[in-house]
Structure 1
């Protein structure tokens, strides 16, 4: 019998599609912009995979109350043991930490949490304060997800939770969201956690840069009149933006057509409104992880991507450290459509075939 404690940060990732690049201190603004909760549905997907991967009688599920785990567990078909309730309707980090303390007291075999890097820090630091080596595993639901304690996708987390046999030490990283919104990445190691050993875990985000001027020049030469270019975040695409003649949002999504910036640092709604008859979304994989959609660019929602051709750009050195690319749009049908081989622009004229998984 494997005992698993489940805790969900229900507001994690809400700021992504509305262009806030995070939810810390921004919940009200995210809701005003029309943001919808993302974490609960991802929790349900992970728990359904958990239930499918292990016979129900072989897993005992403990969950924090209401939207912090209990509701999602019941929707996935479990009858969880509820071990506590959020102190208020507006859930907080204190609730997550309280859940972790109860899970440790109940001697769970794994803490399965749903959220982003901030939630990972809350779980890991609480475990450290308790002197506990209880394994933890993240279901990715935040905007950034820089830590290596997360599964690649929610379903992967469920399968890993049901079947893992060994653990290892992995990094918990976080960044300053206020600086991130201003275009500066300040990442730091916050903890080292015990995590199941599995292939379907993402790597830590690598903060590196390289010369991509030739790539950017080749892209600029290839732009077509009347085509709308939706330019994602990151240093590589940022170099393309400068080559096109404007200083874009370094960590946001900009829309450009025929020499004019139509949207700067746009939300999903603003991007959709600016699309034309033919559209191209331009993204670069996250170094060390390989994600091209679903990490740090949730404004590029399924609704946006379905109206665009996909252009992936990356320097050869970045690709060498990745191997394969990943997509996690939140739409399984779209993810399946995007899987396969894609031509990645690596230089002024060069392209390389890379597999999307």
Structure 2
């Protein structure tokens, strides 16, 4: 059985309080809103989202914060829950959101789902790793940021798409907020704070850019440009296949189409290495692996690249595996997962889960890697 989906979940219990009592927001006025009779509803918004994936709840582990920040609702709905943070006071603060995000970061989440408004999005942005995929459940008074679903149900439906094996692209979306003090005085003063990585589902997620029509040659060039632009000083193990070959072409380097090469600082270090040579050449070095899938089959390990031994893969580490593929190849799998067949069942199990696949320049999809026999 594939590893469970690791869902991070945070609710800002005070989100949206100011709206019903005409405070035009909740930032800094939660106590006043409560005194005016405002009733917290953020947990109900998150509940609406989670109800869309109740049939899949056995496939989740929800990593969350204690009490009203997520634990209570998830236990009530029957999800498997792990608590990583407890708020210091009865009424949570922006600091609690930030600290909860930091506490969840160690779990290597597949998705961080949070309920709140633009202020909550700012707090998540301030604490989250830039590579973490996030999605907001709209629960605030103002929702200018492009990181939210158009409705709570829409946010849940995006999560449902992931559970059903659909291709869900990833894009950068703006984190926006307005000055609530000025807004209460009748002035709209918006500000962009940055970007977060979100699912780019135009039906369900607001204000997210979409790419154009895919043409394989152009897409290969785009994929190559994205990989090369992100290269650091690690030693790169370049796998076999035409998609990886496009990256080597972008670098202007000789490529072993059906073999494994080593690249560092955009220079070719060694070509067509054996498993033992790879182990010798990579000893004690920071490593990254660039691989693609076999079209029609979906294998990323164990088919045509046996030079990538289990010992080497462990040395590289799951988080340093960069999978590149065109969307047409992924779509041809018709929802079947990518497959790892390293020869080590325990390693195959550890490598299962959801990966961010490079499908173009600044264009990614989330896709599952799993061994169907497990």
TM-score by length of 1: 0.54
1:62 aligns with 63
**Could you tell me which residue of structure 2 aligns to residue 278 of structure 1?**
none
Helix, strand or coil: the match of 2:20?
coil
Distance of 1:48 and 1:63 partners within structure 2? 17
- Confirm or deny: 8 A CA contact 1:172 1:189 kept in the other structure: yes
Q: Structure 2: which 5+ residue stretches go unaligned? A: 163-167, 209-374
Mapping of 1:235-314 within 5 angstroms? none
**In structure 2, distance between residues paired with 1:51 and 1:82:** 20
Tell me if structure 1 keeps the 8 A contact 2:101–2:124. yes
2:205 corresponds to which of 179, 185, 201: 201
Q: 1:45 aligns with which of 45, 48, 70?
A: 48
> Quick check: 2:118–2:142 contact (8 Å CA) kept in 1?
yes
Runs ≥4 residues deviating over 3 A: none
Q: Is the 8 A contact 1:50 1:162 kept in 2?
A: yes
Cα distance in structure 1, aligned partners of 2:207 and 2:41? 22
1:147 aligns with 2:141: no
Q: State yes or no: 1:15 paired with 2:18.
A: yes
Per-residue deviation at 1:203?
Answer: 2.3
Do 1:137 and 1:149's aligned partners in 2 also have CA atoms closer than 8 Å? yes
Name the counterpart of 2:250. Answer: none
Instruction: Report Cα offsets for 1:164-217 as digits up to 9, x if no partner.
Output: 43311111100000000111000010111100121211228xxxxxxxxxxxxx
1:34 matched residue in structure 2: 37
CA distance in 1, matches of 2:112, 2:160: 12
Q: Contact conserved, 1:20 with 1:30, CA < 8 A, in 2?
A: yes
Give the whole-Å Cα distance in 2 for the aligned partners of 1:117 and 1:40: 16
Is contact 2:60–2:79 with CA below 8 Å preserved after alignment?
no
Q: Which of 192, 195, 199 is matched with 1:192 structurally? A: 195
The worse-fitting range, judged by mean Cα deviation, of 4-13 and 150-159 is 150-159
Write the distance in 1 (CA, Å) between the matches of 2:61 and 2:200.
21
1:160 is matched with which residue? 158
Looking at structure 1, the residues matched to 46 and 78 of structure 2 have their Cα atoms a distance apart, in angstroms, of 12
The CA deviation at 1:82 is 1.1
**Does 2:72 align with 1:71?**
yes
CA contact (8 A) 2:175 2:195 kept: yes
CA deviation after TM superposition for structure 1 residue 50, in Å: 2.6
Partner of 2:228: none
Task: Indicate if the aligned counterparts of 2:23 and 2:184 stay in contact, CA closer than 8 A.
Answer: yes
Please give the alpha-carbon distance, in whole angstroms, between the structure 2 residues aligned to 1:166 and 1:57: 24
Question: Deviation at 1:98?
Answer: 1.4
Partner of 1:89: 90
* Matched residues, number: 199
Structure-1 separation of matches of 2:161 and 2:76: 22
CA contact (8 A) 1:4 1:61 kept: yes
The alignment yields a C-alpha RMSD, in angstroms, of 1.4
Per-residue deviation at 1:162?
Answer: 3.5
Question: 1:135 Cα deviation (Å)?
Answer: 0.6
Q: How much does 1:156 deviate?
A: 1.3
Please report how far the alpha carbon of residue 140 of structure 1 lies from its aligned counterpart in structure 2 after TM superposition: 0.3
